Amino acid sequence: MKIAILSGKGGTGKTFVAVNLAAALGKSTYVDCDVEEPNGKLFFKPEIIEKKKVTIYLPAFDKEKCVGCRECVDFCRFNALVFIKGTPIVFPEICHPCGGCKIVCKYDAVSEEKKEVGEVLVGKSGETHFLSGIMNIGEASGVPVIKELLGSIPDNRNTVIDCPPGSGCMVMESIKDVDYCILVAEPTEFGRHNLEMVHQLVTVFEKPLGIVLNKCTEEENPSKDFCLENKIDIVAEIPFDKDLGRDNSNGEIVYYSNDKAKRIFNVLSGIVEKKVCQ
Amino acid sequence: MKIIIPVNEDKGTVCVSFGRTPLFLMVDLETKEREFIVNPAADAAGGAGTKAAQLIVDKKADAVLTPRCGQNAAIVLDAAEIKIYKTTSEDVEKEIEKFNQGKLEILSEIHEGFHNHGFSK
């Protein structure tokens, strides 16, 4: 099974939940799709076995062959191509790159230029198979790196995908093929607002989902209220706990170091396995 | 000479957005002919600036009068040698008049640092 861990905002505890759930699942794969700022490696401290460069192909136009029919420019739904003075021009940061312009060109005027956009790290840490990606500085989108990451997942074990924060393209790419989504939320109004957004996104994708309420205190919990009001499954409530906070901040996988955490994540992994099998 | 201005649906005020403006007003200063053009990029998912700028290029305008212009749109207009002038009020008629009197300044801040970006070799 493939589980995605998401949150509307950063700092709710996505990586905390993803890392410890992967640990609780034993022989599993942890995938860090937060390619802008991957930090799963701080916890797993993996031994890196392989590094793969991620490349994309941007269109390049042969001025000799181009007849100026504009088929490619009209085809590009991302508006990454413009037609000026008889030649198409590409805007690399808008280009997705789908290769459509090359396909629609009847005059063989479009070729592909290779561009390196990031890197994928493959490693291991104890029983855990570790995958992490990072974008090159200056790149506009991490989607190509995420695609490469997802394509590197071995299919013989359970997988936990640590998503980027938010509800944009990179998150959508990360959850496309998962069996279940865990939304991590914190007990604030801002947390609720962002939980609502990411809940909406996962609903559009028609994925089964459950909420992990993190950093719970005795005080009010707007995120929990949202779940109760909308009858959304709460699969774990993790207390706001000094020991967990300290150990996690020190880069420890609390599943291994803290009995309380071990119980919480064993229960969570059991619930998730049951939900996926349903 | 033909100039284009992003205008709101009221057709009398300048739109603050270039790429997402609902309409463009094209004025031929010689013939006084006017045309309102629906902006095909107004609700584009992405790349609104380039798409709107492409329209300006295709309409063979010589100048754009706008309060703001994004980097990508500026690159397109610059490549097509279309000048961008900065409007300073909402009033379309006033801005056209100011342009006629040579009182509008070039929207200079976007030119810096954007050259040679986004071009294929």
3-state SS, B50-92, equals HHHHHHHHHCCCCEEEECCCCHHHHHHHHHCCCEEEECCCCEH
Give A225-275 pLDDT, tens digit per residue: 999 999 999 999 999 999 999 999 999 999 999 999 999 999 999 999 999
- Asked if the model's pLDDT at residue B116 lies above 90, the reply is no
Chain A residues within 8 A of B79 when measuring between CB atoms: 82, 84-85, 89
Check CB contact of B72 with chain A, cutoff 8 Å: yes
pLDDT at B112: 35
Whether the per-residue pLDDT at B119 is higher than 50: the answer is no
Domain presence at residue B94: no
**Burial track A68-78 (b if 16+ CB lie within 10 A, e otherwise):** eeebbbeebeb
**Residue of B18, B50, B76 best to disrupt the A interface, most CBs of A under 10 A:** B50
Determine, yes or no, domain membership for B42.
yes
Domain-located, residue B50: yes
Is B98 within the bounds of a domain? no
Q: Looking at chain A from residue 81 to 100, which residues have their Cβ under 8 Å from any Cβ of chain B?
A: 81-85, 88-94
DSSP A179: S
Alpha helices in A25-156 (DSSP H): 40-44, 71-75, 100-104, 143-151
Cα dihedral sign, A29-A34-A38-A43: negative
In sequence order, which ranges of chain A are alpha helices (DSSP H)? 14-24, 40-44, 71-75, 100-104, 143-151, 169-175, 189-204, 222-229, 242-249, 254-257, 259-277
Per-residue confidence at A201, pLDDT binned at 50, 70, 90? very high
- In which residue are the tokens 């989902």 written? A209
Supply the CATH number for residue B12's domain: 3.30.420.130
Examine the pLDDT at A222 and tell me if it is beyond 80: yes
DSSP state of A219: S
User: Where does the pLDDT of residue B110 fall: very low under 50, low under 70, confident under 90, or very high at 90 and above?
Assistant: low
Residue type, B90: E
CA-based nearest distance B94→chain A, Å: 31
Q: Are A58 and B79 an interchain contact pair (Cβ–Cβ within 8 Å)?
A: no
pLDDT band per the 50, 70, 90 thresholds, residue B29: very high
| CA dist list (Å): A83 to A161, B67, B76 | 40, 24, 9
Q: From CA A212, how far away is CA A112, in angstroms rounded? A: 44
Q: Give the domains, in start order, of chain A with CATH numbers.
A: 2-54+118-277 (3.40.50.300), 63-108 (3.30.70.20)
Q: If you average pLDDT over every residue of chain B, what do you get?
A: 89
pLDDT higher than threshold 60 for residue B111: no
Q: Which of A77, A85, A90 has its CB closest to that of B120?
A: A90
Q: In which region does residue A221 sit, left (phi positive, over 0), alpha (psi from -120 to 50) or beta (all else)?
A: beta
Summarize pLDDT for B35-92 with one digit per residue, the tens: 999 999 999 888 999 999 999 999 999 999 999 999 999 999 999 999 999 999 999 9
Host domain of residue B38:
2-88+106-112
Q: Is B23 touching A (CB cutoff 8 A)?
A: no
> Is the residue at B28 inside a domain?
yes
The pLDDT tens digits for A92-117 are 889 988 999 999 999 999 999 999 99
pLDDT of A278: 77
pLDDT confidence band for A140 (50 / 70 / 90) = confident
Dump the DSSP string for A134-173.
EEPTT-S--HHHHHHHHHT--TTSEEEEEPPSSSSHHHHH
pLDDT at site B118: 36
Q: How far is CA B117 from the centre of its chain?
A: 20
| pLDDT value of position B121 | 29
Phi, psi of B2 (to 5 degrees): -110, 130
User: Is the residue at B93 inside a domain?
Assistant: no
Within-domain flag for B120: no
Is pLDDT larger for residue A111 or for residue B110? A111
Give pLDDT, residue B95: 96
Facing A94 at nearest CB: one of B54, B72, B120: B72
Whether the predicted interface score ipTM is above 0.95: no
Cβ neighbours of A119 (radius 10 Å):
17
Mean pLDDT rounded to a whole number for chain A: 95
Average pLDDT over residues A202-229: 97
Residue B72 lies in a domain: yes
Whether the per-residue pLDDT at B31 is higher than 90: the answer is yes
Mean pLDDT, residues A55-84:
95
Residue A9 is predicted with a pLDDT of: 86
Q: Are A201 and A229 in contact (CB under 8 A)?
A: no
CB A29 within 8 A of CB A124: no
For the entire predicted model, the pTM comes to 0.80
Judged by CB atoms closer than 8 Å, whether chains meet at B79 and A84 is answered as yes
pLDDT at A188 over 80: yes
Q: In what order do the strands lie in the sheet with B83-86?
A: B34-38, B23-28, B2-7, B63-66, B83-86, B105-106
pLDDT at A213: 97
What is the total count of domains within chain B? 1
Pairs of residues, one from chain A and one from chain B, whose beta carbons lie less than 8 Å apart? 58
**Residue A79, H or E segment:** none
A92/B118 touch (CB, cutoff 8 Å), yes or no? yes
Q: How far, in Å, CA of A159 to CA of A25, rounded?
A: 9
